[in-house]
Amino acid sequence: MTRFPSSPTTRYALALTVSVATTLFLLLGIGALGIVGDGDRDALYLAAPAVALLVAVATRFRPGGMVVALAGAAVVTVVAGAVAVGLVVTDREVASVGDVVLLTGMYAALFAVAAWLFRLSERPAVGTAA
């Protein structure tokens, strides 16, 4: 019994599902609850899915390109979180610094997991010829 899907296509589909779910989760989190508080400050976080989509299209959704796209989304999420923490600290925004840091870390980690899954989808199945 294998511990992980053996087909590269199945692994790619799993990675794509995680990345789309993460993006939807981010959009719902921004729209329903807000990360930085009231107003349009949460728009900072929209840069992450935008970067992921641009790189994915530029690399034609190939696994190697998707690794770069989702890793870039994770980095952009961390940068957006750093800017958001600065906004919360300087403007006495309703949001808590701890909440912003934890939510930013969660979204960045989810994007990083998706990148890792795409990395795994590049490899041939175990026990097959390359």
Which of 7-21, 40-54, 116-130 has the lowest average pLDDT?
A: 116-130
> Could you read off the pLDDT of 66-117 as tens digits, one per residue?
999 999 999 999 999 999 999 888 886 677 899 999 999 999 999 999 999 9
- Please report the pLDDT score of residue 33 as a whole number: 82
- Please report the pLDDT score of residue 126 as a whole number: 58
- Please report the pLDDT score of residue 2 as a whole number: 55
CB proximity list for 96: less than 8 A, separation 6 or greater: 88
- Please report the pLDDT score of residue 35 as a whole number: 87
Long-range contacts of the stretch 60-66 (C-beta < 8 A, 24+): 63/8, 63/12, 63/15, 63/118, 63/119, 63/121, 63/122, 64/122, 66/15, 66/16, 66/19, 66/115, 66/118
Copy the structure tokens of residue 61: 């959704």
pTM: 0.89
**What does the mean pLDDT of the chain come to?**
89
> Could you read off the pLDDT of 28-80 as tens digits, one per residue?
999 888 888 777 889 999 999 999 999 999 999 999 999 999 999 999 999 99
Compare 63 and 122 and report the one with higher pLDDT: 63
- Please report the pLDDT score of residue 1 as a whole number: 46
Instruction: Report the length, in residues, of the chain.
Output: 130
